[in-house]
Structure 1
Amino acid sequence: MSACKQVPPLVSFQAGGLQGGLHLEPFFRRKDKVVIVMGATGTGKSKLAIDLATRLPAEIVNSDKMQVYKGLDIVTNKVTEEECRGVTHHLFGIIDPNSNFTADDFCHHASAAIDSIVRRDRVPIIAGGSNSYIDALVNYQAEFRLRYECRFLWVDVSLDVLHSFVSERVDRMVEAGLVNEVKKMFDPDQSDYTQGIRRAIGVPEMDEYFRAEAMGASEKTKAKLLRTAIAKIKENTCFLARRQLQKIHRLHSQWGWNMHRLDATEAFLKRGDDREAEEAWENLVAGPGTRIVDSFLYDEGVSSSVLAAAGGPVAMPAAVATASR
């Protein structure tokens, strides 16, 4: 049976056991459990969530505020069908790209998805980089706090290594067709990039290039503007990563979340060798993450020393905090 299935109360009272037949089941019912995977952009949150979901009866609820929208699959770096490995995803590419999907909207849709997953005896795994969405759900939704217990996994990569990876990833996105994908939604009469999916990094940065192209600019001018746009996409993505990391630190300090840091830096350093990179990922991220989740779902009596060996609760020591600087 899934650990998310509701269990009977620990103490049972017969109808006539107390005057008036006092019913105490709601006071003793165990909370359902939710796993939340956090981290800056590019650190492998989706990969870890899918790894966990393939080892559990689990489904994933997307908490990336750009990936909820339909379209721009390359720009928003949505996982492919192959990368999903058969794992069911919720809130993934379902929202009209011109609408504004707020934190309140996320709480409403995510709560419905989590309820559906739990009712089918599966584990909800929330994964994504939009920490404001997770903050709104976990800390400001009274019903969610009453019904669910959360375990947080934080996938971390040292910023210098992450910045290098992000730069390479943007180059791969360009090779995969980012420019043409954004061009399809370019409107020379529209210069507002504050609504819907148009806010996604990779869209506003291309505006000047497309306008120059529409005006018949020379190939030399267009090439220069394209290089500038790509460099700006890389810069803004790195800035986003730093901001997300700082937000994780603030949330941990503010709310005292039961958070486990998994350092994936070595796996990223070995990304030139697929076998070594996968081995490092399994040893440092997927394996420890699986053990932490197993202890959370099935064996809460596990010792703190075991949890520490598997990426124990984060106390935000100075060595970790310096990562945001």
Structure 2
Amino acid sequence: MESLKAMQQKKKVVFILGATGTGKSKLSIDLATRFPAEIVNSDKIQVHKGLDIVTNKVTEVEKRGIPHHLLGVLDPEADLTVSDFCLLACRAIEVILENDQLPIIVGGSNRYIEALVDNETFGFRSKYECCFIWLNVATQVLYSYVAKRVDEMVSSGLVDEVRNVFQPDADYTKGIRQAIGVPEMDQYLRLEYEVNEETRKELLKRAIDAIKDNTCKLTHRQLEKIHHLQNQPGWNIRRIDATEVLLKEGKEAGDELWEKLVLEPSTKIVEHFLYGDGCDAPDTTGTGCDASGSNGVYACNPFYAQLGVL
């Protein structure tokens, strides 16, 4: 067991977990306007440059001036391994802490987050005290929402965006082309100028339906991983239910519910984590947060140099 002195020397890091479409990015930005914080993206696809619509990156306006790290910085063709992410995230966290800011790690790649926190190579738990907040939405409500969001992405130019990077011999297992929304468009883009209008519309519909289906499957895997983490030692995750907010999404009542049901409870959790009794305090939300951290292990590798982090 760690000594009290060692615990007191740890820096603090907040993690925002959740499936695609639950509002993780919005919550992280809202929290960063209430605390001196910067955000580290932990979505393995959003780390790459390009395909901003397909990957649903936050816009400059949505960032509201909050610095974001590891967002749209990697070459689209590069393949980001779990180890690569951990090294880059550790460096970003150190830079943020050196600036006397709170690191907020947010994204849906929970396997990467688990490796960052639990892989002994990085010594994360020996250095950082962490608070885990899970933004959750009832499954059927979330499925309906992500389907609607795919339609909005199509209206915003998803098809043209994918067409601009389409290559007949592309490898959909590497780089940004792994993103849901790219492989599904392959058949449509191969045949769109070779078939009649009716067939073209049908091919596009199939592609969009496949994007929706695969996005729902992704949310299921993400939730399974979070439930797995909940049952692991040291992963006392605080759950915030945003179901009612998503049901009112886009309405004035939705904004009020976001403030009441998501932002205020999350703010209180972070306030207590930073200024209260940390993770040992009673948990009024029925979940918890845990002490964890990183030892800053880096390799002299051109992969990291291209991002300007070494």
TM-score, structure 2 normalization: 0.88
1:272, 1:196 → 2: CA distance?
33
Secondary structure of the equivalent of 2:33? helix
User: One-letter code of the match for 1:240?
Assistant: L
The aligned length equals 286
Query: Which has the bigger relative contact order, CA under 8 A and spacing at least 6?
Result: 2
User: One-letter code of the match for 2:223?
Assistant: L
2:233, 2:182 → 1: CA distance?
34
Deviations 1:43-100 (A, max 9, x none): 0000110011000000000000110000000000000111111110000000011110
1:302, 1:217 → 2: CA distance?
61
Deviations 1:87-126 (A, max 9, x none): 1000000001111011111111110110011111110000
User: One-letter code of the match for 2:217?
Assistant: F
2:189 corresponds to 1:242: no
User: One-letter code of the match for 1:60?
Assistant: I
Task: Say which of 256, 265, 269 aligns to 1:279.
Answer: 256
1:225, 1:289 → 2: CA distance?
43
1:284, 1:268 → 2: CA distance?
11
Change (3 A) 1:220 1:77: same
> Are the counterparts in 2 of residues 36 and 150 from structure 1 also a CA contact under 8 Å?
yes
> Are the counterparts in 2 of residues 304 and 312 from structure 1 also a CA contact under 8 Å?
no
Change (3 A) 1:147 1:107: same
Task: Say which of 90, 93, 96 aligns to 2:69.
Answer: 90
2:149 corresponds to 1:169: yes
Deviation at 1:301, TM superposition (A): 6.6
Q: Equivalent residues in 2 for 1:257-272 (5 A)? A: 257-272=235-250
1:138, 1:52 → 2: CA distance?
21
Q: Equivalent residues in 2 for 1:1-325 (5 A)? A: 27=6, 30-141=9-120, 142-188=122-168, 190-214=169-193, 216-273=194-251, 275-300=252-277, 307-308=283-284, 311-313=285-287
Secondary structure of the equivalent of 2:192? helix
User: One-letter code of the match for 1:202?
Assistant: G
Secondary structure of the equivalent of 1:155? strand
Structure number, greater radius of gyration = 1
> What stretches of structure 1 move > 2 A for 4+ residues in a row?
301-305
User: One-letter code of the match for 1:266?
Assistant: E
Instruction: Quote the residue 1:320 is aligned against.
Output: none
Any gaps of 5 or more consecutive residues in structure 1?
Answer: 1-8, 11-24, 316-325
Secondary structure of the equivalent of 1:261? strand
Instruction: Quote the residue 1:21 is aligned against.
Output: none
2:279, 2:234 → 1: CA distance?
20
1:28, 1:35 → 2: CA distance?
16
Secondary structure of the equivalent of 1:153? strand
2:197, 2:231 → 1: CA distance?
51
TM-score, structure 1 normalization: 0.84
Deviation at 1:314, TM superposition (A): 5.5
Deviation at 1:271, TM superposition (A): 1.5
Deviations 1:215-265 (A, max 9, x none): x21111111000000000000000100110000001111234121000000
1:295, 1:121 → 2: CA distance?
18
1:252, 1:293 → 2: CA distance?
19
Secondary structure of the equivalent of 1:193? coil
> Are the counterparts in 1 of residues 38 and 104 from structure 2 also a CA contact under 8 Å?
yes
> Are the counterparts in 1 of residues 36 and 101 from structure 2 also a CA contact under 8 Å?
yes
> Are the counterparts in 2 of residues 267 and 281 from structure 1 also a CA contact under 8 Å?
yes
